[in-house]
Amino acid sequence: MFKVNEDYLKLPGSYLFSTIGKKVAAYSAVNPDKSIIRLGIGDVTQPLAPTIIDALHGAVDEMAHAETFHGYAPDLGYEFLRTAMAKNDYQDRGCDIKADEIFISDGAKGDSGNIQEIFAKDNKIAVCDPVYPVYVDTNVMAGRTGTYDPKTETWSDVIYMPCTKETNFAPELPKETPDIIYLCFPNNPTGSTITKEQLQEWVDYANKVGAVIIYDAAYEAYISEDDVPHTIYECEGARTCAIELRSFSKNAGFTGVRLGATVIPKDIKQGDVMLHSLWARRHGTKYNGAPYIVQKAGEAVYSEAGKVQLKEQVAYYMNNAKVIYEGLKSAGYNVSGGVNAPYIWLQTPDKMTSWEFFDYLLENANVVGTPGSGFGPSGEGYFRLTAFGSYENTVAAIERIKAL
């Protein structure tokens, strides 16, 4: 008789965004006449930039001819894309990352969930609280997190680093020493950032205690301030302790196209064993590469025209962020984020819990957001709105919230 992986049974409820989806669908079914504005999941709404569409069309046409047809992609991804990333995302910023340290994938969500596989089960993870749920849930599935306490909504073997108003939504170095540290800046969900000096402290700490930092840089394109690092490799010593996750979803609108990358410098080692080799082995065994067509679209992100068009797209979303931030502030809400990130983090009014505010907003303004508690216990009493809607919907949503 087969046995299921019991670690899956430890997971409380369903995935955050599935729960929200179900709640909204149930409300819609009973209220079919209501026009609902979705500012919940961080999914983009603007069409792909023209240069990217051209690259996709061109690659599709190549697939129609034997001479230019492409089958399986190389294990680590096509050289043309890895070289473009190494140059634009790293070398042009003075960071020492080579093309063969970049692994192309079909997105940062999968990589952020899968990366834990190359570490021993008894590694202790540290996460920010609140946090993107994938980091914790995938470690639960792997049996690394101990037991769940429904009262505190925490796992016994996870180190939580509260990111609250008191800490300016930044984590502090943990008292207990972790083996793996998940950091995401600009942050999902709080929209906060840390400076290069602050990130340097984390790199120094990781090198000192022998930990690995898994740095999720998915929102890098939204940075507007100078002292905010675009990659962890701007910090000295990051080559020996940091893995970086990159996404094409938010900077180029690839949520439905799927493309991402993981950077593993060859200097992260335990004895003679490079983490790079383990991930290469995993990639080779379990993955057949992002489609050629999509990797060609990814290459177009780094073309001159692509850069200009995507800058405009990011500016469009950041204008929405401003509409949300300023609108809520003028309505008396406590808000943060939205300056270097497409997320606005607000305190729920009248001591409502995050889920109470979710229901209140859905029912009274027909606006969907994300309850802060869904990202961890320190998110209770907070709520996240995304700037990824259309401008018109964003303005309408804020008008509705102000009218409450």
Segment interacting with ligand MLT (CB under 6 A) among 25-33, 37-45, 331-339, 359-367: 37-45
* Strand bridging mode 260-263 / 269-270: unpaired
Gap between the Cα atoms of 143 and 174, Å rounded: 22
The string of DSSP letters for 132-189 reads -HHHHHHHHHTT-S--EETTTTEETTEEEEE--GGGTT-----SSPPSEEEEESS-TT
Q: Report in angstroms how near the CB of residue 90 gets to ligand MLT at its nearest.
A: 22
Q: Does residue number 173 form part of the binding site for ligand MLT (CB under 6 A)?
A: no
Q: Does residue number 109 form part of the binding site for ligand MLT (CB under 6 A)?
A: yes
Q: Binding site for substrate: residue ranges? A: 15, 42, 109, 132, 188, 288, 384
Residues 6 or more apart in contact with residue 73 via CB below 8 angstroms: 104, 288, 289, 290, 291, 292, 295
Gap between the Cα atoms of 205 and 177, Å rounded: 10
Gap between the Cα atoms of 380 and 258, Å rounded: 31
Q: Binding site for pyridoxal 5'-phosphate: residue ranges? A: 72, 108-109, 132, 188, 219, 247-249, 258, 288
At 206, list the tokens.
Answer: 């990781």
Q: Report in angstroms how near the CB of residue 105 gets to ligand MLT at its nearest.
A: 13
Which of 42, 171, 191, 260 is close enough to bind ligand MLT by CB under 6 A? 42
Q: Does residue number 24 form part of the binding site for ligand MLT (CB under 6 A)?
A: no
Q: Which of residues 58-97 bind ligand MLT (CB under 6 A)?
A: none
- Can you name the residues that pair with 181 across neighbouring β-strands? 126, 213
Residue (109 or 124) nearer to ligand MLT, CB: 109
Residue (265 or 338) nearer to ligand MLT, CB: 338
Residue (36 or 41) nearer to ligand MLT, CB: 41
Q: Does residue number 188 form part of the binding site for ligand MLT (CB under 6 A)?
A: yes
Q: Which of residues 253-272 bind ligand MLT (CB under 6 A)?
A: none
Q: Report in angstroms how near the CB of residue 305 gets to ligand MLT at its nearest.
A: 26
Q: Does residue number 389 form part of the binding site for ligand MLT (CB under 6 A)?
A: no
Segment interacting with ligand MLT (CB under 6 A) among 41-49, 55-63, 79-87, 227-235: 41-49
Residues 6 or more apart in contact with residue 162 via CB below 8 angstroms: 129, 171, 378
Residues 6 or more apart in contact with residue 382 via CB below 8 angstroms: 130, 190, 345, 346, 347, 348, 354, 372, 373
Residue (249 or 251) nearer to ligand MLT, CB: 249
Which of 41, 56, 280, 396 is close enough to bind ligand MLT by CB under 6 A? 41
Q: Binding site: residue ranges? A: 15, 42, 72, 108-109, 132, 188, 219, 247-249, 258, 288, 384
How many chain residues are in contact with ligand MLT, going by CB under 6 A? 7
Q: Report in angstroms how near the CB of residue 129 gets to ligand MLT at its nearest.
A: 15
Binding mask 270-309 for ligand MLT (x = CB under 6 A): ----------------------------------------
What is the torsional sign of CA 102, 105, 109, 111? negative
The string of DSSP letters for 288-351 reads --S-HHHHHHHHHHTSHHHHHHHHHHHHHHHHHHHHHHHHHHHTT--EEE-SSSSEEEEEPGGG
Site residues, ligand MLT (CB under 6 A): 41-43, 109, 132, 188, 249
